[in-house]
Amino acid sequence: MFFFTVRRLLSSIVVLFASSLAVFALCVASFDPLAPYRTRQPAPPPEFFANLREQLNLNEPFISRYFSWLGGVLTLDFGESNGGTAVGPQLLGRLGVTARMVIAAMVLAVILAIIVGVLTAVRQYKPEDYFFTFLTYVLIALPTFWFAALLKEFVAIQFNDLVGQQVFYTIGEQSPAIELIGTRSEIFWDRLGHLILPTISLAMLSFAAWSRFQRAAMLDVLNSDYIRLARAKGLQRRRVLVRHGLRNALIPLTTVVALNVGLIMGGAVVTETVFVWHGMGEYLIVSIGRSDLFPVLGWLLVAAFFVILFNLIADLLYAVLDPRIRLN
C-alpha cells in the first residue's frame, strides 16, 4: 500500500506539471496582456508597446516564459494581474469563499444521493422509486442557473415576504462588512444564511446523477449471492441492507464523487454568478473579460490541482475500500 501510494503520488505530480504546461499554452494563446492598451484613444505610440513587451517578458521564448511563471508558482508567487495586484492572495481569499459553497454542496449532494439511491433501490418499482426517478430526470434536465434563479426569485423572496424577515439571503456570500462589525456568532449565522440557496442549487446539479448511480450500485449488490446468503442464514433485513449491502454499494460512489470535482467547480462558477458571490467564479469571469493572463492561469492551475488531487484520493480510497483491487 505504501509503495502504491508513493507511485500514485509521483505520477499525479507529473500529471500536474503536464497540466500546468497545457494550461499555460492555452492561456498564452488566448490572452493578450497588451489588449487593454490597444483600444485606448489616442492610440499609444509603438515604443510604448515595445517597452511594455520588454517589461512583461513577452519577447522571450514560450518555454522560458513558462519556466519563469512556474518558478514563481513553486514559491507561491502567482504573478500580478493587469492592474498590478498580486494574484496569489486574491486566489487564496476567494478560494476560501468558494470552498464553503463547494464543500457544503458536495456533502449535501452525497448524503441525499445515498439516501435517495438506497431508498429507490430497496423499493424498486414502487411509488417512491417512480417519484424519485422522475424527480432526478427533471433535475438532470435543468440548467443550473435557471434552477438557481427559480429558487432565488420565487422560493426565497416569497418565503422572506411571507415570514416578514430575511431568512434566505439571495445576494453575496455575506452581508457587507459583517466581518468588521459582527460578533463571531453573528458572522457565522449571516454566512450560513447566505450559503443555503447557492448550496442547494449547486448540490442539485450532482445529486441527481449520483443518486441514479447509487441506485444502480445498490441494486447490483442486492441481487448478488452473498446478500441472499446473508438473508438465508437468518440475519435481519435491516442489518443485511446496511452492513452487507450499503457498505459495498458505497464503493463505486466514492470514485464518481471524486471524479466529478471538476464538474462541481464549473458549476460553482455559474452559481456564484447567479448569487453574486465574490469568489473564484467571479474572479475567473472578470479576469477573462479583461484578458488578464496571470489570474486566469492561477485559477486554472488551482482547478487542475484539485481535480488531480481528488483523482488521487479516489484511486487510494478505492484501493483501501475494495481489497480486490490489485496494488501491483
Partner 1 sequence: MTTVEKAADKVAPPQTADPLHEQVEREFTVKARSQREQVFRRFVRNKQAMGGLILFLAILAICWIYPYFYQFGFNDLDATSRSVGPGTNGHVLGTEGLGRDLFANIMRGVQRSTLIILIAVALSLTIGLLVGLLAGYYGGWVDNVLMRLVDLILTVPGLVVLIVVASNFPNLRSATGIALILGLFGWLDLSRILRSQILGLREREFIEAAHALGASDTRIMFKHLVPNMLGSIIVWGTLAAATIVLAEATLTYLGFGVANDTSLGKLVSDGVSAASTRPWLFYYPGLMLVIIALCINLIGDGIRDAFDPSNKRVRA
Q: Are 20 and 304 in contact (CB under 8 A)?
A: yes
- Residue 135 contacts residue 113 (beta carbons within 8 Å): no
| Residue 293 binding partner 1, by CB under 8 A | no
Site string (232-251) toward partner 1, x via CB under 8 A: --------------------
CA distance 124 to 219: 9
Site string for partner 1, 133-162 (x = CB under 8 A): ----xx-xxxxxxx--xx-xxx--x-----
CA atoms within 13 A on the CB side of 310: 19
284 binds partner 1 (CB under 8 A): yes
Cβ proximity to partner 1: between 30 and 236 the closer is: 30
Least distance in angstroms from the C-beta of 269 to partner 1 = 7
x/- string (CB under 8 A) for partner 1, residues 7-26?
--------xx-xx--xx--x
Q: Which is nearer to partner 1, 79 or 182 (CB)?
A: 79
For residue 64 the three cell numbers come to: 522560458
* Site membership for partner 1, residue 262 (CB under 8 A): yes
Interacting residue with partner 1 among 54, 186, 220, 322 (CB under 8 A): 220
- Closer Cβ to partner 1, 191 or 255, answer by number: 255
The footprint of partner 1 on residues 165-204 (CB under 8 A) is: none
SS (H, E, C) the chain: CHHHHHHHHHHHHHHHHHHHHHHHHHHHHHCCCCHHHHCCCCCCCHHHHHHHHHHCCCCCCHHHHHHHHHHHHHCCCCCECCCCCEHHHHHHHHHHHHHHHHHHHHHHHHHHHHHHHHHHHHCCCCHHHHHHHHHHHHHHHCCHHHHHHHHHHHHHHHHHHHHCCCCCCCCCCCCCCHHHHCCHHHHHHHHHHHHHHHHHHHHHHHHHHHHHHHHHHHHHHHCCHHHHHHHHCCCCHHHHHHHHHHHHHHHHHHHHHHHCHHHHHHHHHHHHHHCCCCCHHHHHHHHHHCCCHHHHHHHHHHHHHHHHHHHHHHHHHHHHHCCCCCCC
Nearer residue to partner 1 within complex by CB, 95 or 178:
95
Residue choice 307, 312, 314, 315 for contact with partner 1 (CB under 8 A) = 307
Residues that bind partner 1 (rule: CB under 8 A) add up to a total of 55
Residue with smaller CB distance to partner 1, 118 or 296 = 296
One residue of 70, 155, 196, 209 binding partner 1 per CB under 8 A: 209
Name the minimum Å distance from CB 194 to partner 1.
19
Q: Which of 69, 78, 210, 294 binds partner 1 (CB under 8 A)?
A: 210
Q: Among residues 270, 293, 312, 314, which is the contact residue for partner 1, using CB under 8 A?
A: 270
Binding residues among 26-85 for partner 1 as defined by CB under 8 A: 26-27, 29-30
Name the site residues for partner 1 (rule: CB under 8 A). 15-16, 18-19, 22-23, 26-27, 29-30, 137-138, 140-146, 149-150, 152-154, 157, 209-210, 212-213, 215-216, 220, 256, 260, 262-263, 265-267, 269-270, 273-274, 284-285, 288-289, 291, 296, 299-300, 303-304, 307-308
